[in-house]
Amino acid sequence: MILSASSLWFLTSSFAAVCVGVLLYWKRRQERAVADFSKQLKALADADLPAGRIGIDDQSTPLAQLGGAINQLLDDLDRRGTRLKDREELFQRLVETVHDAVLVHRENIVFANARFLDMLGMSASEVVGKPLAHFAAPEYVDLVASNLRRRLAGESAAERYEIELVGKHGEVTRVELSSTVIESAGEPALLLTALEMLASLPPQPTSSRPRAMVTLDAMGESVITVDADGRIDYINHAAEALLGQTSEQVVGKTFPDVASLVDETDRRSLGDPVRKALATGGRVTMGKRAVLVPVNGSLERSVEISVTPLKSDGTDFTLGLVLVMHDTSEMRGLTRQMSYQASHDALTGLVNRREFERRLREAMDAAQTGDVAHALCYLDLDRFKVVNDTCGHTAGDNMLREVATIIKDAVRDSDTAGRIGGDEFALLLVGCPLEKARQIADDVVRAVSDYRFVWKDKIFNIGVSIGLVEIGRGEGSIEDIMNSADSACYVAKKQGGVHVHVYSAREEASARHSGEIHWLQKLQGALRDNGFELYYQPIVHAQANVERGPALEVFVRLEAESGQPSAPPGEFIRAAERYRLMPHVDSWVVQAVLSALGRGGMRLPPGRSVAINISGQTLADADFLEFVVDCFDHTGAIPGDICFEVTESAVVANLDHVRRFIAVLHGMGCEFALDDFGSGLSSFATLKTLPMDYLKIDGSFIANLASDTVNQAMVGAMIELSRSLHFRIVAEQVEDQLSLDTVKQMGIDFVQGFIIGRPQPLSIAPGSLQINTL
């Protein structure tokens, strides 16, 4: 189960809403008491009785008896006023302990808590007495004013909506306003928070408990109050459930008597938050790694705790403390899951490239300061493409999972196995001499060679080529080490029968040189002679109400030589990146597609677009943006017919160039999609600053989506994030009907994959490009 952001907001905002409601309730009680007292004083005045305390010597007279009754009434009212004032001060302080913005609004703001004032960077005198619309961004002024007016008038209006607030120094904060109509001093008012409101409390006609206690008991947050000596004098129902103890069991005890707090990582005691608050006289918070351990053995829970002293007005005297405890167990579980997903490959469960490189960096640093040597193995599967082409990606994914298990079982527990590419793996053998590393590599080769992959009525045998590099003192950067291992693997693959090759700079240079020159010549010839061809894969909408969006994605391939199969895209793309030729390849694709659109060679359904991939190397080229703008100018293509796709890694690596590229072309009408979203979880911090239109969820999360609850949780979180940022979603690599049904049920907007259609060639005629089928 995923704890949604709205659910978390509900838990925290409920505390603010209840406290303000209770505060207004006690104010009305005090107003009614004063009114009653005024009526009785008026009656006394009409009877010509003396004002103030009445002193009469003869107590037996009727006047003396009346005077005594009046004195008793005055004493009563003094005591009641003091109690009401204490209650009002208590709940005023409770409102100020919450973290969320809370205010009360009539025609203008009549109350704003500290969080709201902090949000604007203003004082109460600068806020109270002014309308909320005064602090809204210009485009939201009419919305806020109209909504508040209609809500106060009892007319139909949104109870929850998003706006932007502008602070004192121009800072903009986007909030979700929730409003409910309340009555204060006999007049309607609106209680507003930045979060979701607490549902109405059920009536308590027969309860003899104070309404404030009933209100606190109905809250979802756990609330505990202690006296000035640190002894518990009240806990609400939520706190009872969290501690697994009743109010009768804990009242009169100290916090350590009922529970302790420990660090979730090392079980170290975090101390008593009550004693800390009493000792310092200030607010104490505990969170992030705090675990609540009840003394009676009840279930341990991850918590965030806030302890706030309640002080007497004008003095430093502490009347008591209020503890607010928020159960974060579910959220921390999701956080740990997200952390695992960020460092592990979703398909195989091995560490991903980023985590592998982090561990490799640590090993290299250790090698620089000590005498221990390590070894790096770069693995590339042989004949993997045959499985993919024959049986599809689902079969290929299953085979990769099984091979990953074989590799993991063949190395030591102290070693790290990672998946760093499609069919490429790596091993980090820590504290392993070169000869031992060669033995482990040979074991991996034999295990993979003995493995047989069975898919339906077909049996496949594969192999693996391994490049081995020793890591010691004086080695270069991570890139140098990885390139050396990749080069050794390249040599091993070219040698055929020998599947393990130990890195040698001289042999590697010779073998790689001949291979790279071959690819360089082919790429240069294709760029010179228009020797590329385009393929496309259709994209369809998954929801009936979705109209605008990409209709297809185009791919570039090297034209096959006569009698030869097409070159594998991965090989020539890697060579193009190595020789910095990707900007030229991407430019060819952009010009070909825009020319076809401008001349009518490619016709799209109304409102649909063509998706074109742009590599990270191309995005880093400052001249590419000008080239694209010129292409639109001289081809006559409509910018709205193009959707550029960029990957998470390309965005993070070239953030400044990406921002300018997207800003200019998005302003012209082009659309943008963030491709392979979730594969690295690296762009959450910057995603909201980029004007994206679509998120393409990485295909590894779609595999087995119907049965994989972890993938469902991750995809659900991505959908929720996308909706909050107003992005539409495309699911990649949807390859079977069950996956298609699942993504539709989850609310994904567009679908792409083998179940919809396999990549097909686009007909290229001189000066135009024609889609055969859509």
What pLDDT is recorded for position 197? 40
Which of 380, 415, 423, 676 is flagged as catalytic? 423
Cα Rg of the chain (Å, integer): 35
Q: What is the pLDDT of residues 596-630, one digit of tens each?
A: 998 888 888 888 999 999 988 888 887 899 999 99
Q: Token pair 């006690």 is at which residue? A: 26
Dig out the tokens for 90 from the structure.
């208590």
Dig out the tokens for 271 from the structure.
């101390």
Min mean pLDDT across 20-29, 218-227, 389-398, 753-762 is at: 20-29
Min mean pLDDT across 201-215, 321-335, 472-486, 680-694 is at: 201-215
Q: Is 423 a catalytic residue?
A: yes
Q: Enumerate residues 6+ apart whose C-beta is below 8 A from 677.
A: 648, 683, 695, 696, 697, 698, 718
Does residue 274 surpass a pLDDT of 60? yes
Q: Given phi > 0 = left and psi -120 to 50 = alpha, else beta, which region is 750? A: beta
Other CB atoms within 10 Å distance of the CB of residue 597: 23
What pLDDT is recorded for position 581? 82
Type and span of the H or E element at 550: strand 549-558
What pLDDT is recorded for position 562? 59
429 beta partners:
375
Highest mean pLDDT among 313-322, 380-389, 759-768: 380-389
Dig out the tokens for 478 from the structure.
């991570």
Q: What is the pLDDT of residues 202-214, one digit of tens each?
A: 444 444 455 556 6
Is this prediction's pTM over 0.85? no
The mean pLDDT value for 556-564 works out to 72
Min mean pLDDT across 105-109, 458-462, 766-770 is at: 766-770
What pLDDT is recorded for position 649? 75
Q: How far apart are CA 558 and CA 519, in angstroms?
A: 11
